[in-house]
Structure 1
Amino acid sequence: MEEKDKTIEVMKAAMEKEKKAKEADKSADEKIEEKDDHSLSEENTTLEDNEMTKNHQEDETKDEVTTEEDIQTDSKDSEKKSDEKPSKSGKSLFKGSKNKELEAKEQKIQELSDRLMRTMAEFDNYRKRSEKEKSQMFDLGVKHVIEKMLPIIDNFERGLGSVDEANKDNPIVQGFNMIYKQLMTTMDELGVKPIEALGKEFDPNFHNAVMHGEDENLGENIVAEEFQKGYMYNDIVVRHSMVRVVN
């Protein structure tokens, strides 16, 4: 029994020793794994840091490049703007000078147009005045000729008025009467007409009163007798009628 117990104790001790050895191996393996994991994590961390650093450097490089490009772009824009400003100012100056030239030309055209209109108006007034003067001169000339012919007409009328009834059929008297009628027809065609006076109201524009009398059969201010016929040429009085006015 004692040997059997010793054998059991020896087996238990061997088993415990073996167990402890296994545990020691396991702990060693775990330490090795932990060490490996730690080294791997450190390597990963290092790689990540390197990548981050690299990325950061690349970003900085890009930022620097971008900044340089922006600076160049800004400088180009500023140069372009500086180039554009003079061109715009030049255009504005050119436009201003062009507008001034156009205004000057328009003003000159307006002045010439006004001068032309005034010249045309003056010429039209001169033409009308010349025509009026010409017409007046013509009328004055005709009036002068008629004035010279009126005494002849008066003499025809006096001569024919002094013929008695017995001599009216005389060929000479009839010849003079025909000449007188032809003369009066020609005067009428020229626009010369006698002024009506007998029985008309006295008008100083056409009549010249040389006598004044009384007549109950006539009204007031009436021409009772005509001593000399008056004549008109169109609207011009060539000679006033010499009359006697009554009442």
Structure 2
Amino acid sequence: MAEDADVVSKENQNEPSKAKSELEVLKEQILQAQSLAEERLESLKRCRADLDNLMKRSAREKEETVKYASEKLICKLLPVLDSLDQAAKHDEGIKVLYQQLLDILKTEGLVPMDEIGKKFDPYRHEALCSIKSESLEEGTVAEVIQKGYLFNSHVIRFCKVAVAKR
């Protein structure tokens, strides 16, 4: 019986160290689980940010595609607009039709450039010839031979001009 008491006593002494050991293992497992949870949360946040960026980029690309399609159509209509402009100088009915078409195209972002008297700008003008002029400063647009147009604030057709010289 004394031997049994010694064995129980030794087991009781081992039990606190065994409990401490198990506690350390559990603490380590908790730390690992927390670390894994944090990693996965960060990964989830990155995935969410990537998705948000993709959605924004897709929306921008869609907008650009629509804008480009409109620009392409308007470029095809420019020769018709030129013909109507010329005809409008001779016939009042054509003038009304020309103005209606121009108003519609303006709502889509088309703006004709009014360049007479402005300084020649190679980013907006295509010089076809020069004209002697005493009234205009040299290097300014003296005459517009063919109108230029802006679409959504960028040049889609250069203004064909005659430039003043002395």
Select the residue among 195, 215, 222 that pairs with 2:133.
215
1:110 alignment partner AA: E
Give the Cα–Cα distance (whole angstroms) in 2 for the partners of residues 117 and 94 of structure 1: 34
- TM-aligned CA distance change 1:109 to 1:134, over 3 Å: same
Say yes or no: does 1:88 pair with 2:9.
no
| Change beyond 3 A, Cα 1:127–1:236 | farther
CA offset digits 1:56-106 (Å, max 9, x no partner): xxxxxxxxxxxxxxxx9xxx8xx75x4554222122212211122112111
Q: In structure 1, what is the Cα distance between the partners aligned to 2:111 and 2:78?
A: 11
The 1-side partners of 2:14 and 2:123 are apart by: 86
Q: Structure 2 counterpart of 1:179, which letter?
A: L
Q: Which amino acid in structure 1 is aligned with residue 158 of structure 2?
A: H
Aligned amino acid, residue 55 of structure 2: R
2:159 counterpart of 1:244: no
Greater helix proportion: 1
Distance 1:84 1:214 in 2: 116
Matched residues, number: 161
Partner of 2:92: 174
> 1:119-167 CA deviation, whole Å, 9 max, x = no partner?
1222122112211211111111000110111111100111223x2xxxx
Q: 1:150 aligns with which of 66, 75, 78?
A: 78
- Give the number of the structure whose residues are more often strand, by fraction: 2
**1:118 has 2:118 as partner:** no
Counterpart AA for 2:32: A
Q: For the residues of structure 2 that align with 1:87 and 1:216, how far apart are their CA atoms?
A: 112
Q: What does residue range 55-66 of structure 1 map to in structure 2 within 5 Å?
A: none
Uncovered stretches (5+) of structure 2, i.e. residues with no partner: none
Identity of aligned residues (%): 28
Distance 1:117 1:245, change over 3 A: farther
Q: Is the Cα contact below 8 Å between 2:116 and 2:141 reproduced in 1? A: yes
1:180-222 deviation digits (Å, cap 9, x = unpaired): 1111111122221112211112222222223345534322432
Q: Does the 8 Å CA contact 1:146/1:238 hold for their aligned counterparts? A: no
1:246 Cα deviation (Å)? 3.0
Partner of 2:114: 196
Distance in structure 2 (CA, Å) of the matches to 1:223 and 1:105: 75
Distance 1:202 1:92 in 2: 88
State the distance in 2 between where 1:143 and 1:176 align.
24
Structure 1 residue runs of 5 or longer lacking an equivalent are 1-71, 164-172
Report the TM-score, using the length of structure 1 for normalisation: 0.58
Task: Pick one of 60, 84, 99 that aligns with 2:27.
Answer: 99
In structure 2, C-alpha distance between the alignment counterparts of 1:196 and 1:134, rounded to whole Å? 32
Give the TM-score taking structure 2 as reference length: 0.84
When the two chains are superposed, the root-mean-square deviation of aligned CA atoms in Å is 2.3
